[in-house]
Structure formats: C-alpha cells, structure tokens
Amino acid sequence: MKTVLITGCSSGFGFDAADYFLARDWRVVATMRTPAKSTLPPHPHLTVLALDVTDAASIAAAVEVAGPVDVLINNAGIGLLGAVEGISMPLVREVFETNTFGTIAMIQAVLPQMRARRAGVIINVTSSVTLLPLPLLAVYTASKAAVNALTECLALELEQFNVRTHIVLPGRAPSTSFGANARPRMQDTIPPSYAELAASVFENFAKSTEPVTYSHDVSDALWRAATDPASPLRMPAGADAVALS
C-alpha cells in the first residue's frame, strides 16, 4: 500500500484530497496545525498529524511518525489580498514562510528517503493567479510563482533519482474556506489611495459568472500527478485554470 503525506488538510483542497486518496486504497498521512479540530472521518488507513510547515521541529516530528512516504503533496498555504504599498513586511514574510519556505522545508525533509529509494513524487499546489497578473494579489502571487520556479528546477535535479515533481495550479475556488481564512490578514492592507481600485476588484468578483474550481478538480489533478508518470509537470485544475493555461 502506497503512502501519501498531504499538508494543509483541515479544509478545502487538502481535506478533499485526503478523502480522495483514502477511497482509492492509499495510506494517507493528513497533516494540519490543529489535529484536534479535524473533521476527517476515522479510517483504518488514515493518520492525522500535527504539522506547522514553518516550524523545523514540527516538520521533523511529523516526517518521523509518517515513515516511508511515496508521494508528498505540499498543499498548505495562506492567502492575502492587498496593495503592495499597504502590506507590512512582517505580513509579507508570514505569507512566504508558509507558501514558499514551508514548501521548501517539507521537500528537504522528505526528499532524502525518496532519493535513497530512487522513487517518489513531489506535488506542489500553487495557483492559477501565477498565469495572469492581477491587482491586489502581488505578494500572494509572488509566493506561489516562486514555488513554480522551484519545482521546475527541482525536476531537473531529481530526474537522475527517478523522483518526479509536479505543479498543480487550482483556479478560484469560492466554495472553499480559503478566502474566509485570509480575511483576518487583510486588515489595513488597502490604503485609501487604492480604495477605488479595490472596490472595482471586489465588484468584479461579486459579479463574476466565469467558471470556477472545485475541490474535486484539484483532487483529480493530484491523483493523476501521483499515479501517472506521463502526466505533465504543470497541471491546471478547474475550468477557469484550464482556460487560463
């Protein structure tokens, strides 16, 4: 039985992916900051672990308990919307610590065992916003675009060890709690000079009738990346993401 370790499983894409892989007879190590709040239903092949991807000790402890990992899915991430001028540097660092540096730290923690076995798959979940410049998303986009570049370079390093890397790029997913979870970080990130632009952006969001992404779209892409060696390095997930690509 193969094992997948998924970060950020408390809700949204990670939650759905854990359920998806369990339904296909995989052992799933579902990680999140506060496992006590997990609503994943009990399953004999499910292990729920505490993991903060910004904490080296937390990563080491989770990886040790997880044991051999065939597929690592770096899904943990935080959102942020605001004008670059209005976002404090501590907040910029918080976003990069989770979205970018946390992803790198997880790869470094799991990669040695994959390299030794000469087998494994690393899948990094980024975002379709990296495919199209959008206002008020510069910091978030930059944190995800860095992971795209990292993954592409990493693929060249790991080919010799038979370890694959993939990028899954979801589109906008209003049915998840990602946006709601980001709101507490958005206080005072839009200075008065940008109020008119922000109002226009929010109005467009509210009126949008464009296709969106659902969690099952992302799980489908993750499953394909995990199980199909012929799958492409970049994989859009969701009708809107596919259209952008």
Looking at the chain, the whole-number percentage of residues with pLDDT higher than 70 is 96
Q: Mean pLDDT over residues 104-114, rounded?
A: 98
What per-residue confidence (pLDDT) applies to 185? 66
What per-residue confidence (pLDDT) applies to 183? 66
Q: Mean pLDDT over residues 192-206, rounded?
A: 90
Cα 188 from Cα 160, distance rounded (Å) = 47
Name the β-bridge partners of 47.
29
Q: Please, which pLDDT band fits residue 37 given cuts at 50, 70 and 90? A: confident
- The CATH class for the domain spanning 3-244 reads alpha beta
Q: Return all residues near 203 (Cβ < 8 A) that are at least 6 apart.
A: none
**Token pair for residue 132?**
């199209």
Residues forming the active site: 140
What per-residue confidence (pLDDT) applies to 212? 92
pTM to 2 decimal places: 0.95
For residues 58 and 44, the answer to whether their CB atoms sit within 8 Å is no
What per-residue confidence (pLDDT) applies to 174? 85
Scored b (16 or more CB within 10 A) or e, 77-116 reads bbbbbbbeebbeeebbebbbbbbbbbbbbbbebbbebbbe
Picking from 239, 6, 212, the residue whose alpha carbon sits closest to that of residue 124 is: 6
User: What's the mean per-residue pLDDT of the chain?
Assistant: 94
**Token pair for residue 71?**
């597929």
For residues 218 and 167, the answer to whether their CB atoms sit within 8 Å is no
Q: List pLDDT tens digits, range 2-35.
A: 999 999 999 999 999 999 999 999 999 999 999 9
Cα 95 from Cα 156, distance rounded (Å) = 27
What per-residue confidence (pLDDT) applies to 242? 95
Domain coordinates in residue numbering, the chain? 3-244
82 has a pLDDT exceeding 70: yes
Q: Please, which pLDDT band fits residue 187 given cuts at 50, 70 and 90? A: confident
Name the β-bridge partners of 166.
123
**Among 19-28, 35-44, 45-54, 104-113, the least confident range:** 35-44
Picking from 62, 59, 135, the residue whose alpha carbon sits closest to that of residue 98 is: 59
What per-residue confidence (pLDDT) applies to 182? 57
